[in-house]
């Protein structure tokens, strides 16, 4: 691929815009011939460039995606005619928190923590796309391991999952969180 | 937020934690001993499936051990001590996740969420069928998926058909048992129990009745059967 | 709509990004409560801001939309073809089979059967020309219903009687899924 007048950053933006699902810098490299290291540098810049815009670059693990700015959710949901308010039960949020902070983990590991059967809750979170199968555990029966998804990052309006507060920090603020 | 759930506990840990938090206690052995009574009371009111109640009963047994230790010092065994420490640890961990869930709820209530592009795919769609697949293969895949989906449903209905056993029911049963034969043995009371959780319910009922001074239990030798007799 | 710290330009960008088809300043006004005149000013600015980027704002008559920069067409088609070149995953085949034999059905009906979110898979099947939108279901939200394309039906010979599953085989499954 000759890049005489090519602008790799612009190309990466086009690819992110047009991709049907989150893409990795490896996939961008395959489509452009640009080195992964350079792509990562551009991705960082793109993230910066779009920080104040209506389109944002978000990341989950190795994967990147353009999404709408979370603070515009109300207007966007109005245009799309979609319900914004979540209907996750306390039990579902609890399970989601366990998965977010302990991923990857199996269903029986979730149940070990919650002390109750969590079959239908896990199923519900899977259907909603907030969690997904991320592998198999190398133990008897090779049980499925679960982790959070890009939808999870979007659902919480984050740039990246790492921006969730640490579990240890959360337990310090007893009352504060309630008043939010 | 907690008041709504008061009636419906997600499990024994949830119940334990809410009792501890209601009393504004820390997670310690002393707190656990304190709320044992309230915990047993809640179990007594439960009318769920016995398989679900069994989870609650296992924890109840641990609480009763802590309580008994308080009343009769010197009965500790290393193994049981470890189990108690383990229970405290599990409660602390569970509490941390409950706080995280509450925080998640707070984050979501801001309604700040990102959306992906909805536009139709920009590419001109080109018909690209999967390789090495014919209609028979496609139908085989379909059958497999539908079978898998069907398998997941009956499980839940099965549980519901199990017999329900409550503490109160068992207490009444034991009382009739004693009334009829004045004195009876622990073994003969247990004889009617079919499942592990039945046994635990029976045992808990006996403990509760001792506490309420409704019955008296005597044992002639270590590991021998107990004699159960009425006090009223 | 309160607009204390709202940034109308950012909102307009979000709407342009997420819209299913080009939108007019009138539609933007309806979703935001911002005056048409102000919206047009913002649109002009957005067009300027994105002039050198991989995403561009274009206008057709009254309608605006974001598209990829034309000079990146080659890389874009390379990426999309790459996505096409991979053979279908097991998950995609499953989804395709469900649609083929139970069409027309909505995405959430597919998800109910598979037990996992199927958003990106449905999009992938759409791009491959294997399935298409065939209508809207007459329920809340009027969700899109999917069916296989004419090419697909011919390719698999599903238009021939002998290749269709026996009715008895199907009714067995039918009951199970209905009871969910």
User: Does A177 sit within 8 Å of B103, measured CB to CB?
Assistant: yes
> Partners for C (CB, 8 Å, 3+ pairs)?
A, B
- Give residue B228's pLDDT: 77
Predicted complex ipTM: 0.82
With cut-offs at 50, 70 and 90, classify the pLDDT of residue B150. Answer: confident
Determine the Cα–Cα distance for residues B194 and B170; give it in Å rounded to an integer.
13
Which residues in chain C are closer than 8 Å to A64, comparing Cβ atoms?
A: none
Comparing CB atoms, the residue among B99, B104, B114 nearest residue A68 is B114
* Cα of A104 to nearest chain C Cα, Å: 17
Closest-CA distance of chain A to residue C174, Å = 20
**What is the mean pLDDT of the segment spanning C84-93?**
84
Shortest Cα distance, chain C CAs vs residue B125, angstroms: 5
**Residue found by looking up tokens 């270590």 in the block:** B222
Asked if A124 contacts A139 with a C-beta cutoff of 8 angstroms, the reply is: no
What CA–CA distance (Å, rounded) separates A78 from C120? 23
pLDDT digits (tens, 9 = 90+) for A142-166: 999 999 999 999 999 999 999 999 9
pLDDT the model gives residue B120: 60
The percentage of chain C sitting over the pLDDT mark of 70, rounded to a whole number, equals 86
Shortest Cα–Cα distance, C17 to chain A (Å):
7
> Cα C121 to the chain's mean position, in Å?
11
Q: Which residues in chain A show pLDDT less than 50?
A: 1-3, 175-180
Asked if A136 has any chain C CB less than 8 Å from its own CB, the reply is no
With a threshold of 0.80, does the pTM exceed it? no
A179 CB-near residues (< 8 Å, 6+ apart):
none
Six-digit token string for B183 = 């004195």
Is the CB of A75 less than 8 angstroms away from the CB of C31? Answer: yes
Which of C100, C151, C173 has its CB closest to that of B138? C100
Asked if B16 contacts B39 with a C-beta cutoff of 8 angstroms, the reply is yes
B5, B99, B116 member nearest A90 (Cβ): B5
Q: Dihedral, CA atoms, C10, C13, C15, C18, nearest 10 degrees?
A: -130
């Amino acid at each position: 691929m000759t890049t005489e007048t090519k602008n790799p950053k612009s190309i990466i933006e086009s690819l992110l815009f047009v991709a049907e699902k989150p893409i990795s810098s490896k996939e961008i490299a395959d489509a452009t011939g640009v080195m992964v290291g350079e792509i990562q540098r551009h991705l960082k810049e793109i993230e910066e460039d779009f920080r104040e815009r209506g389109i944002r670059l978000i990341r989950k693990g190795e994967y990147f995606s353009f999404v709408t700015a979370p603070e515009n959710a109300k207007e966007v949901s109005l245009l799309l005619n979609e319900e914004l308010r979540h209907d996750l039960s306390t039990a579902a949020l609890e399970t989601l928190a366990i998965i977010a902070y302990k991923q990857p983990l199996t269903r029986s590991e979730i149940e070990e923590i919650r002390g109750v059967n969590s079959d239908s809750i896990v199923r519900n979170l899977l259907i909603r796309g907030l969690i997904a199968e991320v592998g198999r555990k190398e133990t008897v029966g090779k049980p499925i391991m679960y982790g959070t998804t890009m939808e999870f990052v979007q659902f919480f309006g984050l740039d990246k999952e790492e921006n969730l507060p640490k579990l240890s920090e959360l337990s310090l603020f007893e009352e504060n969180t309630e008043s939010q | 937020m907690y008041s709504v759930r008061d009636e419906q506990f997600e499990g024994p840990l949830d119940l334990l934690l809410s009792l501890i938090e209601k009393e504004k206690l820390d997670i310690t052995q002393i707190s656990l001993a304190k709320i044992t009574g309230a915990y047993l009371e809640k179990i007594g009111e439960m009318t769920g499936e016995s398989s679900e109640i069994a989870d609650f009963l296992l924890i109840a047994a641990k609480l009763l051990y802590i309580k008994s230790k308080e009343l009769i010092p010197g009965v500790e065994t290393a193994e049981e001590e470890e189990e108690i420490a383990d229970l405290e640890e599990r409660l602390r961990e569970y509490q941390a996740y409950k706080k995280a869930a509450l925080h998640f709820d707070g984050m979501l209530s801001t309604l700040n969420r990102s959306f992906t592009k909805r536009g139709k795919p920009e590419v001109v769609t080109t018909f690209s069928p999967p390789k090495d697949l014919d209609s028979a293969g496609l139908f085989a895949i379909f059958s497999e998926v539908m079978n898998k989906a069907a398998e997941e449903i009956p499980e839940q209905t099965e549980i519901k058909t199990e017999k329900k056993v409550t503490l109160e029911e068992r207490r009444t049963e034991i009382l009739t048992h004693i009334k009829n034969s004045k004195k009876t043995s622990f073994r003969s009371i247990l004889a009617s129990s079919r499942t592990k959780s039945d046994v635990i319910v029976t045992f808990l009922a006996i403990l509760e009745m001792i506490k309420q001074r409704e019955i008296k239990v005597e044992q002639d030798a270590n590991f021998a059967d107990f004699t159960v007799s009425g006090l009223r």
